[in-house]
Amino acid sequence: MRPITRTISAAVVGFAVGAGAVSGGMLAYHQMNPNANATLSQSAAKTPYATVATSTPATLPLGPDTIANVVKRDGPAVVKIVASVPQSTSLSSSPYFNQFFGSLFGNGIPVTPQATVQTDIGSGFFINSRGYLLTNDHVIHGATKIQVYVPGYSKAFTATRVGTDYATDLAVLKISAPKPLPYLVLGNSNQTPVGAWVVAIGNPYDLSHTVTEGVISAKGRPLTIGSRNYRNLLQTSAAINPGNSGGPLLNLAGQVVGINTAVSTQGQGIGFAIPTSTVEQILPQLMKYGHVIRPWVGVFIATDTKSLAKQYGLPTSQGVVIVSVEPNSPAASAGLSPGEVITAVNGQTVTNDTQLKNLIDKMKVGQQATLTLNDQGKTVSKTVTIGQEPNGPITPPSTAPSF
């Protein structure tokens, strides 16, 4: 079988994470406006983890105070997150080291790596009064110290990780405060239409509690950034920048409909947020287990087509072709190989990669799946024991096709 070789296309979108020193000033705590509370009241139900809106908010008339009331009501629940991430650099790679000491130590001679700390700045918001807050996983990924700056408190709180999910880029943190904290209500992103007004609150470039507004530009956007594959993002015209990551995207009833996550590096007014429909699915597992339990086989796949079959000499043009097998995965243990074409799972015919993934997603970790494969024109069966997806990056091979 000839190897399948094609370069994966690179994403042109960067995370909205900021890096820099922590500023000393903090915004004063905003007292809630009673009139704003009455105007923005909503029907909501408290779960063990968060408060979730139970109905679509009533349409509010646009006026000069609408956004101001949302900010006054919700602003106290939005925080700044400062994550300290250790870095290792070699002195020989520093331009300052080379300038003063390069000739003494020789050109390019490696020296002992020096430990440095990178400071990443992001945003987050409380989901209940007990100090639990939501943010992006990439804001705190690899951090050895996480500080949370809360409006109304002069000193930062040290946060602990409750749960993280690399795949959806969500994280839950916890701080201990001396009194109950203000929190936000999770709204219904599914019922938020394209064109709806939204408000973003966050800390772009360490400018605490910056407010921007825009609309929902599109829904259901798939996006790949590095090794993270987002399946379903909200696109918004509300300005978000490095430091906004993890902050709330709010509707005009003050409900969270998304978590600001990424910004286009090649355009203006093109930002992306994780919808609350995703948050509601992931949050219970993060709170209970600290991670998400997902069934996993460990193969990179593509829908087989006539052109693909002809180009790479595949034995059939129907099914799902295995492009690559992850080492030390259930697929590797079952003896699956690149170039084999999956045509059925437990006797159920599969014709595309989405259908195959949906079938696997319905299975439980530890369950066995019988795969029917076409291997160089021969029909074979192999049994795979479903594993648990790693909570970290899984980098596709450079030889995988860009499907």
Cβ atoms of 46 and 79 closer than 8 Å: no
Structural tokens at position 21: 């020193």
Q: How far apart are CA 92 and CA 102, in angstroms?
A: 7
Sort 145 into a burial class: Cβ within 10 Å, 0-12 / 13-18 / 19+: middle
CA gyration radius for the chain? 24
Cβ atoms of 148 and 81 closer than 8 Å: yes
Query: Rounded to 10 degrees, what is the CA torsion of 163, 175, 71, 248?
Result: -10
Structural tokens at position 137: 């996983």
- Which one of the listed residues 245, 277, 324, 329 is annotated catalytic? 245
138 is catalytic: yes
The one-letter code for the residue type at 180 is: P
141 is catalytic: no
65 is catalytic: no
Main-chain phi, psi angles of 245, to 5 degrees: -55, 130
β 387-388/295-296 pair status = antiparallel
Q: How far apart are CA 221 and CA 275, in angstroms?
A: 11
What b/e sequence results for 49-69 when a residue is b if at least 16 CB atoms lie within 10 Å of its CB, and e otherwise? bbbbbeebbeebeeeeebbeb
- Which one of the listed residues 74, 137, 169, 304 is annotated catalytic? 169
- Which one of the listed residues 92, 120, 137, 138 is annotated catalytic? 138
Helix boundaries (H) for 15-94: 34-39, 66-74
The one-letter code for the residue type at 50 is: A
**Active-site amino acid positions:** 138, 169, 245
